Amino acid sequence: MEPPSASPRRGRVHWQGSLLTVSLLIFWSPSIPAQPTIESVPLNAAEGNDVLLLLQNPPENIFIYIWYKGKSAGNNNRIVSYTPQAQVNDSGPAYTGRETIYHNGSLLFQNVTLNHTGVYTLQISTILGVTQIAGQIRVYQSVTKPSIQASNTTVTENEGPVTLTCLTSHAEISIRWIFKGQILPLTERTTLSQDNSSLTIDPVRREDTGEYQCEVYNPVSSNKSDPLNLTVTLEKKSSGLSGGAIAGIVVGAVAVVAVVVAL
């Protein structure tokens, strides 16, 4: 008969062996390969530049790459395909002559326009099946110089309101206001329209005197207007006399002059 202490020892050995087995399984288990993704280089492109849809982490044993314009893999949307083993590419109905496919599946667009903005789909066929991933191109115009239109450029202090409007021909842009070379801080007397295109000051004070500019910008460019100068003059002081009193003074002065002349 085994001594009573034998069983606990066997239990400890079994537990330690299980732990060692689990550790070995974790250590030797194959790592999960990274999933393929598409990155736009650059992320935001100016009109007329080149854009690369870069395929990252491509799978192995690829039969063919096929690029489509849009989210669907229909034949009418097919741009170009490439077969690595045969090193052959074939253009489709959506090919414009500006696209170049590389051996690693990446797709280059040359001299892009605003029409290139959108989603592109890459279909990858391997021995394991078909995978589809999407990338996106964002193309923006380089913005031109805006201008400022003012409701008034010379006002009296504590009068108003004065409204400055930033005029631009671009859509999908952002606008900010600049006062004396610095971004304009908003106060309880300044309000902006919903799209920031109009700035209203009410009432106007002497410290509002100076040069104003508006700046339009998007992810690839920015441009400022020429400075517009706003002049705020001192508030006119009232004499404190009523109209009747002033008229009486004038009549009296005229009478005195008449008497002097008669004498």
CATH code of the domain covering residue 187 = 2.60.40.10
Q: Using pLDDT thresholds of 50, 70 and 90, give the confidence band for residue 234.
A: confident
Task: Taking residues 224-228, report their average pLDDT.
Answer: 98
Residue 113 belongs to domain spanning = 37-140
Q: Are residues 98 and 151 in the same domain?
A: no
Look at residue 76 and tell me if it is in a domain.
yes
Q: Cα–Cα distances in Å, from 88 out to 24, 66, 75?
A: 45, 12, 18
pTM, full prediction: 0.71
**Confidence label for 11 from pLDDT (cuts 50, 70 and 90):** very low
Same domain, residue pair 41 and 133 = yes
Residue 178 lies in a domain: yes
First vs last Cα of the chain: how many Å apart?
157
Q: Is residue 258 part of a domain?
A: no
Q: CA 107 to CA 105: how far, in whole Å?
A: 7
53 lies in the same domain as 94: yes
Residue 253, in any domain of the structure: no
Q: How many domains does the chain have?
A: 2
The kind and range of the H/E element at 167 are strand 162-167
CA distance 252 to 217: 66
Residues 94 and 157 in one domain: no
**Residue 131 and residue 155 in one domain:** no
User: Is 108 found in the same domain as 158?
Assistant: no
- Model confidence band, residue 112 (pLDDT cutoffs 50, 70, 90): very high
Do residues 113 and 156 both lie within one domain?
A: no
pLDDT category of residue 260 using cuts at 50, 70 and 90: very low
- Residues of the chain with pLDDT > 70, as a percent, come to 77
Identify whether 243 is part of a domain.
no
Structure tokens that stand for 211 in this block: 């040069």
The SS3 assignment for 245 reads: helix
Do 73 and 53 share a structural domain? yes
**Residues 160, 122 share a domain:** no
254 domain residue, yes or no: no
Q: Are residues 151 and 107 located together in one domain of the fold?
A: no
Q: Do residues 99 and 150 lie in contact, with contact meaning Cβ atoms separated by under 8 Å?
A: no
3-state secondary structure of 254: helix
Question: Are the C-beta atoms of 74 and 90 separated by less than 8 Å?
Answer: no
Which of 140, 175, 192 lies at the terminal end of a domain, its last residue?
A: 140
Asked if residue 241 belongs to a domain, the reply is no
Query: What pLDDT is stored for residue 194 in this prediction?
Result: 95
Please give the structure tokens belonging to residue 50.
């080149």
- 76, pLDDT greater than 70: yes
pLDDT digit string, tens, across residues 136-175:
999 999 999 999 999 999 999 998 799 999 999 998 899 9
Answer with the one of 85, 115, 140 that is the final residue of a domain: 140
Whether 258 shows a pLDDT value over 60: the answer reads no
Please indicate, yes or no, if residue 210 is contained in any of the structural domains: yes
Angle in degrees, CA 117, 215, 141, rounded to 5: 20
Give the least confident one: 26-40, 81-95, 183-197: 26-40
> Within 10 Å of residue 70's Cβ, how many Cβ atoms?
15
User: What is the Cα–Cα distance from 87 to 90, expressed in whole angstroms?
Assistant: 10
Note the pLDDT tens digit of each residue in 213-223: 999 999 999 99
How far from the centroid of its chain's Cα atoms is residue 110's Cα?
A: 23
pLDDT band at 34 (very low <50, low <70, confident <90, very high): confident
pLDDT above 60 (res 240): no
The whole-number average pLDDT for the span 185-189 is 92
Domain boundary among 140, 173, 201: 140
User: Are residues 252 and 208 in contact, defined by beta-carbon separation less than 8 angstroms?
Assistant: no
